[in-house]
Amino acid sequence: MILACFISDSANLFQMYSKASKMIAKIVLEANGVGDSEREFYKSLVESLDRQENGVREIIESPDHTETSGELESDQKPVEKSTKLSAEDALKEGIDELKALVGVDSVKSEIGRLTNFLKIRQQRIDQGMQVPKQSLHFVFTGNPGTGKTTVARIVAKIMYGFGILKTPNLVEADRATLVGGYVGQTAIKTNEAIAKATDGVLFIDEAYTLAKSGGEDFGQEAIDTLLKKMEDLRDRLVVIVAGYPAEMEKFIESNPGLQSRFTRYIVFDDYHVADLCQIFDRMCIANGYSMTQDARANLAIILNRAFVDRGKGFGNARFVRNAYEKTLGNHSDRLAAEENITREQLGTIEAVDLPFDLANGIDGPFDVSQSRWIAQCPKCSNLSSAKLPLIGQSVKCKCGLRFRCPWWNLDKKTVPGLIGYEKFDRPHDILGYDVQDESVKK
C-alpha cells in the first residue's frame, strides 16, 4: 500500500497499487465465501479504482503537471517542454527562432521547404483532399556545435504547429540512454525513451554509435526496437538522428529499415568566420558585455585562424563558447588586481582579454589602428572602406538603409605583421548585417 504515497508521481505506480488492492480484495472474498453482497462490493471497488487510475493519468499527462524529484526519478535526459503553448504560437515561435539563427542558410532553406510542404498539406486536409503518406523522420549531419539540437527543437514546434504532433516536446537521447549492458535491458531503455517522446520528437545524437560492431553489443537491439516503434507510432512520433556526415551515411546504409524510414537529410555546414564572430558578439550582448573596437578586430583575426586550421570535429559554436568563457576569465584576472573598478570596466572586454592561445601562431593583439574593412550596402550595393571606429557599429548608407558594418573581412595588408590570415571570397561576407531600417529617407 506504500505505493499509494507516490501516485502523484507516476500513473504506473498507481496502477500497481490498484491491481494489488483488487487482488487482495479477491483473495479475502474467496477465502470467506462469496455472496451477492460481496460480489457487488467487489464490483464497486474495481470501478472506483479504475476511475481513480484514469483520473491520475489525466493529471500526470496534463501539461501543467510537474514530476517531483526523489529516488524514483528517471535516468532519462530531461524532456524539453513548452507548457500552455498553442499550436499557432508554437508555429510562429519556431519560425521566428529559425530566422534569428546566425548563418545556417542551407538549413533555413530546407526547413523552409518543409514548412511549405506542411502548409500545403494542411490546406489539402482543410479542403477534404487526400494527403500523401510521406516520412517525416530526419537525418541531421554535421560537426558538433552547428545547431542540430536547436533546429530539432524548432522542428518539434513546427510539427506541432501544423498538427502533425500533439505536443512540441523534444526528448534528447544517445547511446547511453538507449543501450543496456545485458540481454533484455536495451529494449526496456529504448522503449522508455520512445514512450517519453511519443506525440513529440525523439532526437538521437551520435546515432551511428548504435551500430558498433564486434563483441557483445546491444546497439542493434536498440535499432530494431526503434524501427518497430517508428512503424507502430508512425502518426505520433518523429525521430531525428544526428552525427558526423560520413558516420551517419554509413549508419543509414547499414540497415534497409533505416534507409526506408529516414529519407529527409539536412546538412549542417561548419559556421564560417562571419558566423563565429556574430555568435561571440551575441554572447557578449546577452550577458551585458561589450567589446572595444580593438578587441572586435582582434577577435575576428583569432576566429579566422581557428577556422582556417580547423579539422574534423571542429567545435563551431562550442569553440566560440570556449573562447568566450576564456575571455571572461582573462577579463576577471585583469580586473582583480585593480582598485575602484568602474561599471564600464566590468562590462568592457579589451583586446588583451582575448584567448590568443586558441589560434596557432598568435601571441597577442595586433595593431589595427590603421586597418581597413570593406562594407557593402545590402540595398544599393555601394562599397565603402571602413576604418576601425565603424566596424560593428550602426551606419547609414546614402540610400537611407541603416545596417551594421562587418568586421570579419579585414584587409590583411593594412595590419603590420599579420600572416596566415585567409581572405574569403564569399559575396555576403562584405554585406552589412543587422539591417535596422529598410525605409529610404530622402
Q: How confident is the prediction for the chain on average, in pLDDT? A: 85
Contacts of 143 (CB under 8 A, 6+ apart): 244, 268, 270, 312, 313, 314, 315, 316
CA angle 163, 89, 281 (to 5 degrees): 120
Q: Give 79-268's CATH code, choosing from 3.40.50.300, 3.30.420.10, 3.40.50.720, 3.40.190.10.
A: 3.40.50.300
- pLDDT class for 440, splitting at 50, 70, 90? very low
- pLDDT class for 32, splitting at 50, 70, 90? low
What integer pLDDT is reported at residue 438 of this predicted model? 54
- pLDDT class for 284, splitting at 50, 70, 90? very high
Whether residue 356 is predicted with pLDDT greater than 60 in this model: the reply is yes
Segment 278-296 mean pLDDT: 97
Domain residue extents for the chain: 2-61, 79-268, 275-437
What integer pLDDT is reported at residue 31 of this predicted model? 53
Number of C-beta neighbours around residue 389 at 10 A: 9
What integer pLDDT is reported at residue 134 of this predicted model? 81
What integer pLDDT is reported at residue 133 of this predicted model? 81
* Rounded Cα distance, 211 and 207, in Å: 8
What CATH fold (topology level) applies to the domain 275-437?
Helicase, Ruva Protein; domain 3 (1.10.8)
What integer pLDDT is reported at residue 35 of this predicted model? 59
pLDDT tens digit string along 383-435? Answer: 999 999 999 999 999 999 999 999 999 998 999 888 878 887 788 889 999 99
- pLDDT class for 53, splitting at 50, 70, 90? low
Dihedral sign from CA coordinates of 148, 152, 154, 159? positive
What integer pLDDT is reported at residue 424 of this predicted model? 79
Whether residue 95 is predicted with pLDDT greater than 80 in this model: the reply is yes
Whether residue 277 is predicted with pLDDT greater than 50 in this model: the reply is yes
The percent of residues above 70 in pLDDT, for the chain, comes to 79
What is the rounded (10 degree) CA torsion for 29, 32, 34, 37? -80
* Rounded Cα distance, 210 and 205, in Å: 10
pLDDT tens digit string along 325-334? Answer: 999 999 999 9
Q: DSSP class of residue 224?
A: H
SS3 assignment, position 172: strand
On whether the CB atoms of residues 87 and 45 are closer than 8 A, the answer is no
What integer pLDDT is reported at residue 184 of this predicted model? 85
Cell numbers at residue 157, please?
A: 514546434
pLDDT tens digit string along 130-144? Answer: 988 888 999 999 999
* CA distances in angstroms from 279 to 239, 288, 377, listed in the order given: 28, 15, 22
Min mean pLDDT across 69-78, 179-188, 216-225, 291-300 is at 69-78
* Beta-bridge partner residues of 306: none
How long a stretch of residues is the chain?
A: 442
SS3 assignment, position 133: coil
**For residue 57, with 0-12 CB atoms within 10 Å meaning exposed, 13-18 middle and 19 or more buried, which class applies?**
middle
The torsion region of residue 104 among left (phi > 0), alpha (psi -120 to 50) and beta comes to left
The percent of residues above 90 in pLDDT, for the chain, comes to 69
Checking DSSP bridges between strand 262-268 and strand 137-142, what pairing results, if any? parallel
* Beta-bridge partner residues of 139: 241, 265
Asked if the domains at 79-268 and 275-437 fall in one CATH topology, the answer is no
Exposure string (b/e) for 258-284, b if CB count within 10 Å is 16 or more? Answer: beebbeeebebbbbbbbbbbbbbbebb
Higher pLDDT, 345 or 61: 345
Which amino acid, residue 159?
M
On whether the CB atoms of residues 322 and 357 are closer than 8 A, the answer is no
pLDDT tens digit string along 223-268? Answer: 999 999 999 998 999 999 999 999 999 999 989 999 999 989 999 9
Single pTM value for the model: 0.76
pLDDT tens digit string along 8-31? Answer: 445 555 555 555 565 555 555 555
Which amino acid, residue 77?
K
